[in-house]
Amino acid sequence: MAEWIHTVTARTPTNIAVIKYWGKRDESLILPVNDSISVTLDPQHLCTTTTVAVSPSFDQDRMWLNGKEISLSGGRYQNCLREIRARGEDFENKEKGIKIAKQDWQKLRVHVASYNNFPTAAGLASSAAGLACLVFALAKLMNAKEDASQLSAIARQGSGSACRSLYGGFVKWIMGKEVNGSDSLAVQLADENHWDDLVIIIAVVSSRQKETSSTTGMRDTVETSILLQHRAREVVPKRIVKMEEAIRNRNFSLFAQLACADSNQFHAVCLDTCPPIFYMNDTSHRIISCIEKWNRFEESPQVAYTFDAGPNAVLIARNRKTAALLLQRLLYFFPPSADTDMGSYVLGDKSILKDAGVEGINDVQALPPPPEIKDNVPAQRNGGEVSYFICTRPGRGPLLLSDESLALLDHSTGLPK
């Protein structure tokens, strides 16, 4: 009889922090200097799918990311593999003739194939979804009994923000106090149905510049920024309490005010680092100005903005109607070039395009300037600065995929399909 292969496939979302994680107090355990809060993004539009397989016929741990074999020797992968192997339990599938005792997990080698449904290099927190998915899938494969919070503390050791991708909706990463990191884990504040009128539009901003990696940037900030100490000790603890209240009460004005202020302070901390770190570019700044002007004109926030370690804007609109007005403004200021079709310029939930009344390039060209800039209409609109937009919403947490056709590894060879 050919040796058996046991496989599991899972899908895990990415997340965007609205109270930012920046700075580690322990580099190897990945322990942060402050709590953070995120919104999980709908995996329909942004997710990682990972298949993990185990078989006595595999002679080494191997991984393929987006079809290309990569090394699993890095510390982040090794931490996750070691922690899940140590928690594996007995597993049996009589039908397939599979029987694995808990002590076997240390000896058995795994194959991993992972695929991000968005460009890995676009700066959209692919490692958060990727490491969360790896941990979630391995835990199912090895029959580990850990709950989502316990798994989050393992995912954290792969990539800090990955711990927040173990839940849908609104998630808090509690920094914890223990030296061994056992209480640094994620908890769900509210699920994805709690505040389901929010709409999220991501502007993937064109960038030629190679950004400072988060790991290097955080290290430099912790070593040199005085503002980070003030932020972590005085500012974030109060903001966390208020952000939890804003989410609980679906108070959009408070939510937007806190999210924008926190993003701006994170980038101020980057500027306060020696040497200074610039993640936002002129396009990011133009997007902030556009939102700030509009929010002031409306006399209450319509849209929140937040920027991670890169120039992309994540814009959160209070409802669908506002999201349509937001998309009109974004397309007015950042039109696609003449040869781009709208279908590849606005991705994700395309019904927002319909609501905005801009289904073709002619509709974009006919957009009037928004009323808040009527005395200050620019001579030139900024074509080419945005690569594309993604329309999405808050979404669910990890999901097991039982449909064999969705697996990324062949069930008889254990190699990528």
Q: Closer to ligand ADE at the Cβ: 29 or 131?
A: 131
Strands 31-32 and 91-93: unpaired
Could you tell me the smallest distance in angstroms from the CB atom of residue 397 to ligand ADE?
16
Backbone phi, psi, residue 266, to 5°: -60, -45
Answer for which of 44, 78, 120, 253 binds ligand ADE (CB under 6 A) is 120
Instruction: Find the shortest distance in angstroms from Cβ 413 to ligand ADE.
Output: 21
What is the spatial distance between Cα 113 and Cα 116, in angstroms, rounded to a whole number?
10
Out of 44, 56, 65, 215, name the contact with ligand ADE by CB under 6 A: 65
Alpha carbon distance 91, 98 (integer Å): 8
Minimum CB separation from ligand ADE for residue 90, in Å?
Answer: 28
* 215 forms part of the interface with ligand ADE (CB under 6 A): no
**Short-list 344, 341, 367, 372, CA closest to 356:** 367
Which of 12, 34, 16, 35 minimizes the C-alpha distance to 310? 16
Question: Which one of the spans 79-87, 125-133, 248-256, 383-391 is the region binding ligand ADE (CB under 6 A)?
Answer: 125-133
Question: Is 48 a residue that touches ligand ADE (CB under 6 A)?
Answer: yes
CA–CA distance, 317 with 259 (Å, rounded to integer): 12
Kindly tell me the burial class for residue 95, based on how many C-beta atoms sit within 10 Å of its own C-beta (0-12, 13-18, 19 or more).
exposed
Amino acid found at 212: T
> Which residue in the set 127, 284, 312, 328 belongs to the binding site for ligand ADE (CB under 6 A)?
127
Among 9, 36, 51, 114, binds ligand ADE (CB under 6 A): 114
- Minimum Å distance from CB 83 to ligand ADE? 15
Choose the stretch contacting ligand ADE; rule: CB under 6 A; options: 129-137, 139-147, 284-292, 301-309: 129-137
How far is residue 125's CA from residue 128's CA, in Å, rounded to a whole number? 5
161 binds ligand ADE (CB under 6 A): no
- Nearby residues of 226 by Cβ (< 8 Å), 6 or more positions away: 272
Interface region with ligand ADE, contact rule CB under 6 A, candidates 31-39, 119-127, 269-277, 371-379: 119-127
Count interface residues toward ligand ADE (CB under 6 A). Answer: 10
Closest CA to 7 of 416, 399, 417, 407: 407
Q: Say whether residue 130 binds ligand ADE (CB under 6 A).
A: yes
Comparison of 30 and 259: residue with beta carbon closer to ligand ADE = 30
Place of tokens 């595999």: 58
In this complex, which beta carbon is closest to ligand ADE, that of residue 5 or of residue 122?
122
Least distance from ligand ADE to the Cβ atom of residue 391, Å: 22
Is 9 a binding residue for ligand ADE by CB under 6 A? The answer is no
Which is closer to ligand ADE, CB of 51 or CB of 127? Answer: 127
Candidate residues 40, 55, 79, 126; the one interacting with ligand ADE per rule CB under 6 A: 126
- Residues 133-152 contacting ligand ADE, CB under 6 A: 134
Q: What is the residue whose two structure tokens read 């058995």?
A: 108
- Concatenated DSSP letters for 302-338? SEEEE--SSS-EEEEESSHHHHHHHHHHHHHHSPPPT
Cβ-based nearer residue to ligand ADE, 65 or 187: 65
Which lies closer to ligand ADE via its Cβ, residue 120 or residue 264? 120
Distance, in Å, from the CA atom of 127 to the CA atom of 116, rounded to the nearest integer, reads 10
The minimum distance between CB 48 and ligand ADE, in angstroms, equals: 4
CB of 142 vs ligand ADE, minimal distance in Å: 18
**Cβ nearer to ligand ADE, comparing 40 with 295:** 40
The footprint of ligand ADE on residues 286-305 (CB under 6 A) is none
Yes or no: say if 196 and 189 are a contact pair by the CB < 8 Å rule: no
DSSP string, 161-209: GGGGGGSSSEEEEE----TT-TT-EEEEEE-TTTTTT-EEEEEEE---S
| Binding-site ranges for ligand ADE (CB under 6 A) | 48, 65, 114, 116, 120, 126-127, 130-131, 134
